[in-house]
Structure 1
Amino acid sequence: MKRLMQTFGMSGAILIAGCSNSALEAEMNWEVQDFSYMDQRGEEVSLDSLEGTPWLAAFIFTSCETVCPPMTFNLTDIQGELEAKGIEDYKIVAFSVDPENDTPEQLQEYLSNYPVPDESKWHLLTGYSQEEVKALGAESFKTLVQNDPNSDQVVHGTTFYLVNGEGTVVKDYNGYQDVPVDMIAADLETLIEEQS
């Protein structure tokens, strides 16, 4: 009887653990402000057009000499993991922090330098002012975007943000070093399941 109770207790714990992992636990609840910008294909991408689809957000720029290349490689790794799992209903959205220099053509050329598994899921955005992206970073993602007065570089955060289909930031992750690729892919999968 004791053994039976232990077995039942174990399977009950497993069942409870299984249930609690089925829903993504949001770590934040930041509403992304409305936007409508141009991506690397010259297509308009807005908060409305992303509605219903979870997305991963980042801040980059094409002439970045430090953190952006590894961040972009990390995004391709995450996408590779999603592809391997057969996950398709998501987007990767990167806001250029140097919009005056990053044209759609430059963003397209930048992306072509990386081993992107499926370019159709990517939206590298431009077509706004430096002040707009600075405000978007601060208000929607609680991150800094600022020109470096001593160079042509732009200071910006290295975080990846998980945004749900309602346009709310629910989690963030280190996007530069020790990136939790498996966790990000699993969290995106959970959000997609919750949306369907």
Structure 2
Amino acid sequence: MRKLFVLPYVLLIILVLGACSSGGFKADHKYEIEPFEFTNQNNEKVSLDDLKGQVWLSQFVFTNCTTVCGPMMFHMAELQDQLIKNGVEDYKLVSFSVDPKNDTPEVLQEYLNGFATDPEDTEKDWDESKWEMLTGYTQEEIADISLKSFKMPVFPYPDSSPEAGQVLHGVLFSLVNQEGQVVKSYNGNEDVPFDQIVKDMKALIKSGS
């Protein structure tokens, strides 16, 4: 009789633990982001502390980019559309300029506006309040935070090279948790795993860690 009494509770515990593990978020790594305070497209200060408590997805781009940045911005805009359609609300998108000398807040605002609408998809959703386009630092500072915090190099091409005026940078989207740690990375330039990113962001928001 005692075994029959205990058995339902054992099964209940197994079911609860199974539900918790199957619905949780699993980080690939935890890179600590160094504290920062930069300026966004609205000339407002945005710090790491301001972003803590929210899940955010970051990228490194610049407005004069002639290669990967356009596709990356388009993919980030597409991702936001999917986040909105999936009812995801507590998140931020953060774009760090790797050309701060030229990318003033006004330039970044104009650049962002170019991705606000899609003439081929009038049903695409958009929420600029979720997007921070950051500048207001030196080239050395952004190269330092990109490498140390996001594990991606940033190298301006020499003035003497055919690519003068361009900046070599990583093309990953980095998922950041509520504590300011990079926990996953995805290709943001091509073959972007939109469904997986949405799934991961929803799970991370739900887990609260």
Counterpart of 2:177 in structure 1: which amino acid? N
- For structure 1, the residue ranges without an aligned partner over 5 or more in a row are 1-13
Which residue does the alignment assign to 1:167?
Answer: 180
RMSD of aligned Cα (Å) = 1.7
Which residue does the alignment assign to 1:190?
Answer: 203
Which residue does the alignment assign to 2:36?
Answer: 35
Which residue does the alignment assign to 2:145?
Answer: 136
Say whether 1:112 aligns with 2:113. Answer: yes
Which residue does the alignment assign to 2:51?
Answer: 50
Which residue does the alignment assign to 2:27?
Answer: 26
- For structure 2, the residue ranges without an aligned partner over 5 or more in a row are 1-14, 118-125
Counterpart of 1:27 in structure 2: which amino acid? D
Where does 1:50-129 land on structure 2 (aligned, <5 Å)? 50-115=51-116, 117-129=126-138
- Aligned-pair distance for 1:194? 1.4
Counterpart of 2:28 in structure 1: which amino acid? E
Which TM-score applies when normalising by structure 1?
0.89
Greater gyration radius: 2
> Secondary structure at 2:103's aligned position in 1?
coil
Distance in 2 (alpha carbons) for counterparts of 1:77 and 1:34? 29
Which residue does the alignment assign to 1:8?
Answer: none
Closer, same or farther in 2 for the Cα pair 1:21/1:148, shift >3 Å?
farther
Which residue does the alignment assign to 1:178?
Answer: 191
- Aligned-pair distance for 1:21? 3.1
> Secondary structure at 1:40's aligned position in 2?
coil
Q: Percent identity?
A: 49
- Aligned-pair distance for 1:16? 7.6
Distance in 2 (alpha carbons) for counterparts of 1:56 and 1:187? 11
Distance in 2 (alpha carbons) for counterparts of 1:65 and 1:15? 51
> Secondary structure at 2:186's aligned position in 1?
strand
Counterpart of 2:186 in structure 1: which amino acid? Y
Counterpart of 1:28 in structure 2: which amino acid? H
- Aligned-pair distance for 1:42? 0.8
Which TM-score applies when normalising by structure 2?
0.84
Counterpart of 2:116 in structure 1: which amino acid? P
Which residue does the alignment assign to 2:5?
Answer: none
